[in-house]
């Protein structure tokens, strides 16, 4: 398996997140990638490539300019703000967490205050912005773009091993540890490349098998017919992101029918998961896409500390086999998965069925 990986992610190492009413160690840490990298290396399962910079407009297409400007500049501006208040600041130690949000009884007024700006673009308090969050996130999106470049060169499957993850990031909001939506960036870049190659009616399917609903990816493509978004995830009545991901969200406008949500109850085992995966794959097959992007989360594993499905390590072989039988050029993007000890074995079961 060709695996794209970039060490830049290590610089983004948030210390704590606001969770269950208190500050707790951040689940989304560099150790996640380190564990997977070491395991795949030891098993001889990966050919490693460093993420390179390709000319692409995909990030600017799927995200709003003001949001990108916010992500790029917020940390230094926040530090300057603290310095002006007379604080001694070590930027490497500063993590930004919002506290006030433009919820439905307020208005989404463009904020002047730096606190307002953070709340304006955030969806939760669990996604600290570190000094290197932007650099790491950008490297991860670069990996997704590079992965698409490889599948254009006769490589059937490419895995982009990166963090922070991406599928909760919307056109102009961040959350769930995600800042840029790498799966959306990959799909967009793929369509752009198809158009360049004389295929203006290209289609890409995104299959999201992270435990959490990929609300960001859904939002980005909700009104588009060129990207099918299919997600199997915990019922939002029971799990994050709580406010999106029900089965009646099927797309709008041009995108009507191009969004498929399959929510499952907490406690779901492979028996039921495997059945609904067949349904998801049938929908993708019927869509007839040129390529497939997988948002892969290892947080469906029974040992994940913040999730609630009951998949076992072996089940990921079956999952890989089922998806690989679609026989499509495939880009796999790393999303969640927070039980560090099972991440390597889980990927080592999921990846091999792909050609
Ligand atoms: N139990 C991904 O897996 N924490 N993000 C909410 C509620 C946010 C996970 C805590 C979980 C987001 C990419
Ligand atoms: Zn997740």
Give the pLDDT confidence of 309-323 residue by residue, as tens digits: 999 999 999 999 999
Ligand 2 center from residue 337 Cα (angstroms): 6
Given a contact cutoff of 8 angstroms between Cβ atoms, the answer to whether 258 and 228 are in contact is yes
Closest to 114 in 3D by CA, of 168, 159, 74: 74
Name the residue of 212, 239, 337 to mutate for ligand 1: max ligand atoms within 8 A of Cβ. Answer: 212
Residues flanking ligand 1, CB < 6 Å: 19, 126, 165, 167-168, 176-178, 210, 212, 240, 297, 299, 306, 335-336
Query: Which tens digits make up the pLDDT trace of 229-262?
Result: 999 999 999 999 999 999 999 999 999 999 999 9
Hey, which bits of the chain come out as E strands?
2-5, 16-19, 22-25, 47-50, 157-161, 204-208, 227-234, 259-264, 291-296, 330-334
In this model, does residue 52 exceed pLDDT 90?
Answer: no
Which of 9, 12, 167, 168 is an active site residue? 168
> 228 φ, ψ to 5°?
-95, 125
Q: Atom 2 in ligand 1: which residue has the minimum CA distance?
A: 336
pLDDT of residue 21: 87
- Give this prediction's pTM: 0.98
Average confidence (pLDDT) over 134-149: 98
pLDDT of residue 192: 98
Average confidence (pLDDT) over 158-177: 98
State how far Cα 35 lies from the chain centre.
Answer: 18
Angle at 107 between CA 104 and CA 111, to 5 degrees: 130
Ligand 2 center from residue 120 Cα (angstroms): 23
Angle at 320 between CA 318 and CA 325, to 5 degrees: 95
In this model, does residue 20 exceed pLDDT 90?
Answer: no
Ligand 1 center from residue 213 Cα (angstroms): 10
Query: Which tens digits make up the pLDDT trace of 67-121?
Result: 999 999 999 999 999 999 999 999 999 999 999 999 999 999 999 999 999 999 9
Q: Using CA atoms, how far apart are residues 63 and 72, in angstroms rounded to an integer? A: 13
Mean model confidence pLDDT for the chain: 97
Q: Using CA atoms, how far apart are residues 160 and 21, in angstroms rounded to an integer? A: 33
- The band of 298, judged by pLDDT with boundaries at 50, 70 and 90, is very high
Ligand 2 center from residue 125 Cα (angstroms): 16
pLDDT of residue 55: 92
pLDDT of residue 18: 83
In this model, does residue 19 exceed pLDDT 90?
Answer: no
Closest to 241 in 3D by CA, of 221, 261, 268: 261
Which ligand 1 atom sits nearest the alpha carbon of residue 338? 3
* Three-state SS at 263: strand
Question: Based on the number of CB atoms within 10 Å of its own CB, is 133 exposed (0-12), middle (13-18) or buried (19 or more)?
Answer: buried
Name the residue of 240, 308, 337, 338 to mutate for ligand 1: max ligand atoms within 8 A of Cβ. Answer: 240
Answer yes or no: 301 catalytic: no
Name the residue of 126, 181, 231 to mutate for ligand 1: max ligand atoms within 8 A of Cβ. Answer: 126
* Three-state SS at 129: strand
Determine how β-strand 16-19 pairs with β-strand 22-25: antiparallel
In this model, does residue 173 exceed pLDDT 90?
Answer: yes
3-state secondary structure 298-342: CCCECCCCCCCCCECCCHHHHHHHHHHCCCCCEEEEECCCCCHHH
Average confidence (pLDDT) over 274-303: 98
- The band of 43, judged by pLDDT with boundaries at 50, 70 and 90, is very high
């Amino acid at each position: 398996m060709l695996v794209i990986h970039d060490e830049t992610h290590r610089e983004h190492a948030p210390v704590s997140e606001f969770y269950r009413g208190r500050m707790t160690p951040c689940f989304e840490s560099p150790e996640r990638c380190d564990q997977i990298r070491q395991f795949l290396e030891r098993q001889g399962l990966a050919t490693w490539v460093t993420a390179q910079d390709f000319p692409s407009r995909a990030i600017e297409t799927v995200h709003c300019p003001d949001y990108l400007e916010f992500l790029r500049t917020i940390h230094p501006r926040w530090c300057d703000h603290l310095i002006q208040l007379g604080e001694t600041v070590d930027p490497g130690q500063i993590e930004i967490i919002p506290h006030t949000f433009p919820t439905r009884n307020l208005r989404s007024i463009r904020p002047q205050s730096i606190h307002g700006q953070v709340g304006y673009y955030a969806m939760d308090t669990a996604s600290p912005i570190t000094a290197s969050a932007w650099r790491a996130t950008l490297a991860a999106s670069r990996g997704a773009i590079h992965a698409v470049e490889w599948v254009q060169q006769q490589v059937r499957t490419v895995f982009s091993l990166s963090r922070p993850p991406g599928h909760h990031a919307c056109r102009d909001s961040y959350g769930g540890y995600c800042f840029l939506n790498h799966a959306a960036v990959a799909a967009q870049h793929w369509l752009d490349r198809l158009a360049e190659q004389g295929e203006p009616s290209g289609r890409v399917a995104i299959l999201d098998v992270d435990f959490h609903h990929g609300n960001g990816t859904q939002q980005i493509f909700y009104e588009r017919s060129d990207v099918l978004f299919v997600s199997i995830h915990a019922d939002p009545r029971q799990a994050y992101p709580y406010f999106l991901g029900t089965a009646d969200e099927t797309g709008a406008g041009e995108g009507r029918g191009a969004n498929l949500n399959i929510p499952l109850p907490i406690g779901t085992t492979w028996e039921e998961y495997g059945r609904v995966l067949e349904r998801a794959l049938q929908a993708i097959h019927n869509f007839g896409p040129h390529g497939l992007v997988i948002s892969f989360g290892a947080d469906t594993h029974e040992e994940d500390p913040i999730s609630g499905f009951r998949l076992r390590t072996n089940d990921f072989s079956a999952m890989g086999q089922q998806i690989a039988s679609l026989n499509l050029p495939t880009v796999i993007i790393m999303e969640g998965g927070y039980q560090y000890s099972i991440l390597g074995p889980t990927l080592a079961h999921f990846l091999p069925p792909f050609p």
